[in-house]
């Protein structure tokens, strides 16, 4: 998760989706993946220490929703762990950046394992081109680097603007601590870019954009989100 820093340290990494309430529509951000589906996605994943928390349906039920109730899925990007359950939302429009859908349909060989076209074939995609307020108080913001068409989702809340990063990171990427120069002598920066990226410079600029915009930063794989019922 942290480029050139702390390799070998073990951490829990949640695979989450987000329900946005109060927008007049049933909106989710990403659709995540179940523990068993993750282990079966590739042979090399079989022995990973993966723990079941909630299925997609169980997560939705916390907001008294079912997959067919979802009106919109804001897809931050189309890596398998972010869109595995999207096809279950039969009535939903899927909002995705045009650049992401294009790359996901024909990915570079070095990243082809991260995408599976079977997961999003036949979905009702609505392609977005750039930054856009898609609903009142809900904005998508291009944050390339992790993938070509990754997008963050900014939501206005009573406690300020919460931004779901979209790209795969943890809190430490944004707030690495005062000892970052000692732990990351090659980074030369006060942030640490994500470990998985196509373009390091774009990833850095995207992180700085979010830090400037957000009152509340929500890294999509931050372990602390497992303890959050609602945000803020």
Q: Give the E-state strand segments of 69-196 in sequence order.
A: 72-74, 93-97, 125-128, 132-135, 138-142, 151-157, 160-164
What is the distance between the alpha carbons of residues 27 and 170, in angstroms, rounded to a whole number? Answer: 23
Which pLDDT score is estimated for 81? 96
Which pLDDT score is estimated for 186? 65
Residue 176 has pLDDT above 90, yes or no: no
pLDDT tens digits for range 1-10:
999 888 888 8
What is the distance between the alpha carbons of residues 75 and 30, in angstroms, rounded to a whole number? Answer: 5
Give the domains, in start order, of the chain with CATH numbers.
18-223 (3.60.15.10)
pLDDT tens digits for range 104-149:
999 999 999 999 999 998 999 999 999 999 999 999 999 999 999 9
178-185 long-range contacts, CB within 8 A, separation 24+: 180/5, 183/5, 183/6, 184/2, 184/4, 184/5
pLDDT band at 188; cut points 50, 70, 90: low
Residue 156 has pLDDT above 70, yes or no: yes
What is the distance between the alpha carbons of residues 39 and 28, in angstroms, rounded to a whole number? Answer: 24
pLDDT tens digits for range 6-60:
888 888 999 999 999 987 899 999 999 999 999 999 998 988 899 999 999 999 9
pLDDT tens digits for range 212-227:
999 999 999 999 998 8
Distances in whole angstroms, Cα of residue 59 to Cα of each of 100, 133, 134, 200: 26, 26, 24, 34
What is the distance between the alpha carbons of residues 39 and 35, in angstroms, rounded to a whole number? Answer: 6
């Amino acid at each position: 998760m942290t480029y050139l820093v702390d390799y070998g340290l073990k951490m829990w990494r949640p695979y989450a989706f987000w329900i946005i309430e109060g927008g007049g529509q049933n909106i989710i951000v990403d659709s995540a993946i179940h523990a068993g589906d993750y282990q079966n996605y590739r042979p090399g994943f079989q022995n990973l220490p993966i723990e079941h928390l909630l299925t997609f349906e169980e997560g939705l039920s916390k907001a008294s929703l079912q997959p067919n109730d979802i009106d919109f899925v804001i897809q931050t990007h189309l890596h398998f762990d972010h869109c595995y359950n999207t096809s279950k939302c039969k009535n939903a429009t899927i909002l995705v950046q045009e650049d992401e859908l294009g790359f996901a349909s024909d990915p570079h060989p070095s990243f082809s394992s991260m995408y599976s076209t079977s997961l999003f074939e036949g979905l009702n995609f609505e392609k977005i081109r750039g930054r856009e307020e898609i609903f009142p108080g809900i904005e998508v913001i291009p944050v390339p680097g992790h993938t070509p068409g990754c997008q963050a989702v900014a939501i206005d809340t009573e406690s300020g603007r919460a931004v779901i990063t979209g790209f795969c990171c943890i809190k430490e990427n944004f707030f690495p601590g005062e000892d970052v120069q000692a732990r990351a002598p090659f980074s030369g920066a006060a942030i640490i870019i994500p470990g998985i990226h196509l373009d390091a410079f774009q990833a850095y600029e995207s992180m700085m954009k979010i830090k400037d915009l957000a009152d509340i930063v929500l890294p999509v794989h931050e372990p602390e989100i497992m303890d959050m019922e609602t945000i803020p």
